[in-house]
Copies of this chain bind each other. A is one copy, B any other.
């Protein structure tokens, strides 16, 4: 519910700094004052764009959640279980690699998870994503493998592997996730329905 409609470089800089500080200090451990200090501006200048830390967090996550929603919906429209899983996996890993620090925060910070759960449809979106991955294996292994892959990808794009090249990281994450889920690499690129 970001009420700020003004678009300015400052707004994007606030978002970038917020992601970095949330990663370093957690959402609960980051104040708007800390964000203002980091940019060398006053807290009043921050208020011009975001009145609360929560409003800033929403501005940070909304575009990423929109991308995730598109990926989940596209995957759900595929005809086979494996095509659905391959689709959502490829899309999620791509988002995770492009928004490294942010995905780590979204997946692991309890303060952020709490706030997102209060958002309409967020929990539903994550559950649909988990189900698409879990359905590869209809036994008890399915949901557990899906949870390991989602948490594992989100954790691996955190601070630890920050020096790994983006393309190498994307390909390796895809390979390890496919092995974990028992998915074979598709002959045709993901996005087509390789029945």
Residue A110 is within 8 A (CB to CB) of chain B in the complex: yes
Chain A contact residues, CB within 8 Å of chain B: 22-29, 105, 107-111, 114, 130, 140-141, 143-145, 147-156, 158, 160-161, 164, 168-169, 172-173, 175-177, 179-180, 182
Number of copies of this protein chain within its complex: 2
Q: Are B26 and A111 in contact (CB under 8 A)?
A: yes
Residues of chain B with a CB closer than 8 A to A173's CB: 144, 148
Residues of chain B with a CB closer than 8 A to A109's CB: 26, 108-110
Residues of chain B with a CB closer than 8 A to A28's CB: 25-26, 28-29, 111
Residues of chain B with a CB closer than 8 A to A161's CB: 143-144, 147
CA of A151 to CA of B107, assembled, Å: 11
Q: Which of A22, A28, A105, A114 has the most CB of B within 10 A?
A: A28
Residues of chain B with a CB closer than 8 A to A164's CB: 140, 143-144
Question: Known interface pairs A143-B161, A168-B140. Does A182 touch B180 (Cβ–Cβ under 8 Å)?
Answer: no
Residues of chain B with a CB closer than 8 A to A26's CB: 26-29, 109-111
CA of A28 to CA of B152, assembled, Å: 23
A-B contacts, 20 of them at CB < 8 A, read A23-B110, A24-B110, A26-B29, A26-B109, A27-B29, A28-B111, A105-B110, A108-B155, A140-B168, A143-B161, A144-B156, A145-B172, A148-B148, A148-B149, A148-B156, A148-B180, A150-B152, A151-B152, A151-B155, A179-B182
Contact among B144, B147, B152, B168 with A149 in the assembled complex (CB-CB below 8 Å)? B152
A165 nearest CB neighbor, chain B only: B140
A112 nearest CB neighbor, chain B only: B26
Residues of chain B with a CB closer than 8 A to A177's CB: 148, 180
